[in-house]
Amino acid sequence: MSKYKHSAPKKKKGARSALTGACIVLVLAAALCLSFIGCSQSGGKITATVSILGNNLTDLTEESLREAVGRIADQNPLTDAITLSFLDDTYTLTLDQIGARYDADAITEAAYKAGQETLFARLFGEDKTVEIPLSITWDESRLQSVLSDAAARLSRSATVFSYEINDDATVTVTKGGDAVTVTDADIAALLEPKLKTMDFTDITIDAQSGHAEIDFDALKQEIDRPMRNPRLDLENDPSGKTVLAGERGVTMDIDTAKAAYAASGDADTFTFAVTFTEPTMSVETFKSNLFTHTLSSVTSNFNASLAGRTTNVKLACDFCDGIILNPGDEFSYNKAVGPRTYERGFKDATVYVAGTTEEGVGGGICQVSSTIYSAALHADLKITERYNHSYMITYVPLGEDATVVYGSKDFRFVNDTDYPIKLSVTYGKSSMTVKIIGTNLTGKKVEISTKTLSKTPFEVVYKTDTSLPADTQKVKNNGYTGYTTESYRLVYENGKLVSNTFENKSVYKKLDKLILENPSTPEKSGSYTPPSTPSSGQGNTTAPSTPDPEPVTPPTDPVTPDPGTTPEPDDPLPVTP
């Protein structure tokens, strides 16, 4: 019997090789896949080495890594600062001011992510350390407060010009600047990006600053000053014993200054020439001529039996005595005497009120102001404020009186001589004398010439007063004639008239003589002579003889008429309703 052997067909060699290659590819693909999807983590720990501020960390869990970051932060405090510059000013901001601290969460997250090493990296990668970038966080409210403070400090207000007068007759002006403002937002826009990247280098804030316009009229008022000869230091030594040296004058020309400014361009300063005027008198000359002459002397009389009025006159004299005025200084009677009050020692005396006479505090002090006015005229001084009385007075000539009311009417004059002057205001039992002492190098003498323009006689007026006994009369006030006068100042030097100028026009109203009566019948009203009443003679007062303003030789010491026994009322002081 025949046997047949069955055998499997033989595979081809090429097919077997293809299968083997496919298996290798699958294995490699799986390995690569595992390496790139990170399935080789070692129990949640980082396996790569990371560095934070030079501290190498590895083989840590995420929680351990967070603790390590905290320790490193504590060991490396934030002490950096950033300087802000704006124009010529700077402001230094420290990280502590804004509550800056390390952002531990962000640093831990970045370190943990960088420390995740894959199987592929372990098998085929290099062994290297990864440096973790740092980041910080801050308190927004504290940052905003610092930004506001920096903006306020760096912003520049407008500045005015300043100047310096140089010894070479020039002036150097430093120009003023416009206001330039920096805002919180301006600073934040530059600062916050640097904080986020831990860049603590200085910041320059751009700005443009121009020069402010110069008021050349104001500059001239600042620079110009008159020449001053030596004078007394009355501010620190009212006694007049301390002498100050003279000061040269300075005069600025506006066109010259404007030309220098225009030529200076963008420069911060410019210089221009001025004119100096040197003092004309040395200290030695000043001292040798000081208080060497009596410029004028005027005496007026008063009734010493009128105690209140006499007290007021003498008190006002004391307040004015010894006052010294430098050249250019002004005398104010109200300032010198002050308020007329009982507390200051003034008494009641006769004053004018509503066309009649009454008792009022301070009555009589106008005699002192009038006597000083007359002396100022005869010393040829500049009068700056003066009012004549409402009614005529007799203790100085018409046109030479000066009434005052505290708070409204003053008597003022200026020392317009080249040397200081001193007031000597003294009194005796029934008279007072004003001397003005100064320096008279030209032999000057002054005469006041007054002419009468019109004259209005007073009338006698009767008024019923039932408080009087029947058929009796009482003189309430004497009458005064009204006058309108013009006064002229005649100045002589060495006996020659050098000037004849109008001084004032004075209008004195008439004051009718007022008699109070209580007649028993109408027929007796105003028809009889009143009982014995001291007569002042004022009803028959005539105008002082006043020549027309022609050259006359003035007496050395003008003396005023004796007012007799009747008080000379002053214009009223303010009356409270």
Q: What percent of the chain shows pLDDT beyond 90?
A: 57
Q: 307-337 pLDDT, tens per residue?
A: 999 999 999 999 999 999 999 999 999 999 9
Q: Is residue 114 part of a domain?
A: yes
Cβ-count burial of 574 within 10 angstroms (0-12 exposed, 13-18 middle, 19+ buried)? exposed
- pTM, full prediction: 0.60
Integer Cα distance of 110 and 437 in angstroms:
98
Number of domains the chain contains:
3
Residue 455, pLDDT above cutoff 70: yes
Parent domain of 257: 216-286
Q: 401 and 324 in one domain?
A: yes
pLDDT band of residue 148 (cuts 50, 70, 90) is very high
Task: Say how far apart CA 286 and CA 8 lie, in whole Å.
Answer: 152
User: pLDDT per residue over 178-189, tens digit each?
Assistant: 778 888 998 999
Residue ranges of E strands in 95-238: 101-102, 129-131, 136-137, 162-165, 170-174, 203-205, 231-232
pLDDT tens-digit series, residues 257-281? 999 999 998 888 999 999 999 999 9
Residues 349 and 200 in one domain: no
pLDDT at 87: 80
Q: Does 146 share its domain with 196?
A: yes
One domain for residues 402 and 366 = yes
The answer to whether the CB of 513 falls within 8 A of the CB of 459 is: yes
Regarding whether 296 and 248 lie in a shared domain, the answer is no
How confident is the model at residue 210, as a pLDDT?
72
Which of the pair, 516 or 574, is modelled with greater confidence? 516
Do residues 278 and 336 share a domain? no
Do 186 and 315 share a domain, yes or no?
no
User: Is residue 121 in a domain?
Assistant: yes
CA gap 517, 529 in Å, rounded: 11
Residue 353 has pLDDT above 90, yes or no: no
Query: Are 151 and 196 in the same domain?
Result: yes
> In whole angstroms, what is the distance from residue 239 CA to residue 231 CA?
13
Query: Do both 266 and 364 map to the same domain?
Result: no
223-264: pLDDT as tens digits:
999 999 999 999 999 999 999 999 999 999 999 999 999 999
Alpha-carbon distances, residue 117 vs 33, 128, 322 (angstroms): 14, 11, 106
Supply the pLDDT for residue 188: 92
Residues 256 and 312 in one domain: no
**Domain end call among 140, 173, 207:** 207
CA distance 481 to 458: 5
As a whole number of angstroms, the distance between CA 497 and CA 428 comes to 35
Has residue 557 been placed in a domain?
Answer: no
Residue 121 is which amino acid?
Answer: A
pLDDT, greater one: 356 or 542 = 356
Which of 252, 269, 286 marks a domain boundary? 286
Q: Could you read off the pLDDT of 471-503 as tens digits, one per residue?
A: 899 998 888 999 999 999 999 998 899 999 999
Tell me whether residue 396 is in a domain: yes
pLDDT of amino acid 104: 86
Provide the pLDDT confidence category of residue 463 given band limits of 50, 70 and 90. very high
Region at 495 (left for phi over 0; alpha for psi -120 to 50; beta for the rest): left
Whether residues 279 and 317 share a domain: the answer is: no
Q: Is 86 helix (H, G, I), strand (E, B) or coil?
A: strand
Q: What is the mean pLDDT of the chain?
A: 83
Quick check: is 7 in a domain? no
pLDDT band per the 50, 70, 90 thresholds, residue 112: confident
548 or 410, which is more confident? 410
Q: What is residue 27's predicted lDDT score, i.e. its pLDDT?
A: 46
Residue 556 has pLDDT above 60, yes or no: no
Considering the domain boundaries, does residue 477 fall inside one?
A: yes
Domain annotation covers residue 177: no
312 and 281 together in one domain:
no
Of 251, 286, 321, the residue that ends a domain is 286
Q: Which element (helix H / strand E) includes 348?
A: strand 348-353
